[in-house]
Amino acid sequence: MTITDQVKQDVAVAMKAGERERVSALRLVLSELQKDSKEGAGDEVAVLRRERKRRLDAATAFRDGGRPELAEGEEAEARVIEDYLPAELSDDELGAIVAAAVRSTGASSPRDMGSVMKAAMAEVAGRADGKRVSARVREALGA
């Protein structure tokens, strides 16, 4: 079952349960997943990560603007989206992947960061944020 199918089922369940906020969040996610599918990209996990990041960025902007009630709504939507994302890699798992990428590319200095990032991100496969991977690669290369 695809993520889109699961979201469709969860919208129906949330509607029956009368969970308005959850229905609203799921409908937005479903819309983005369907739009991405029509455009041919078809990477559901990337869509979910992008939408979660948008919600978290909006929450930060609302908090900075003195609107905590709107920020809480955005954070609630981000939590709903997180339920559909694969589990994040632990720090130890990410460290092992970065170390393997450094070994496989033969990287020895910060100039090799691009090749290490490419190898590490292919292995991470959406289970860790790019910023987190980048920080670990810099640390491993002594940058």
Q: Domains in the chain and their CATH numbers?
A: 3-82 (1.10.1510.10), 91-141 (1.10.10.410)
Exposure letters 93-128 (e unless 16+ CB within 10 A, then b): ebeebbeebbeebebeeeebbeebbebbbebbebbb
Q: What is the pTM of this model?
A: 0.72
Distance, CA of 124 to CA of 133 (rounded, Å): 9
Q: How many CB atoms lie within 10 A of CB 88?
A: 15
Per residue of the chain (143 residues), give pLDDT as tens.
888 899 999 999 999 999 998 999 999 999 999 998 888 776 888 889 889 999 999 999 999 999 999 999 999 999 999 999 888 888 899 999 999 999 998 888 888 899 999 999 988 877 888 889 999 999 988 86
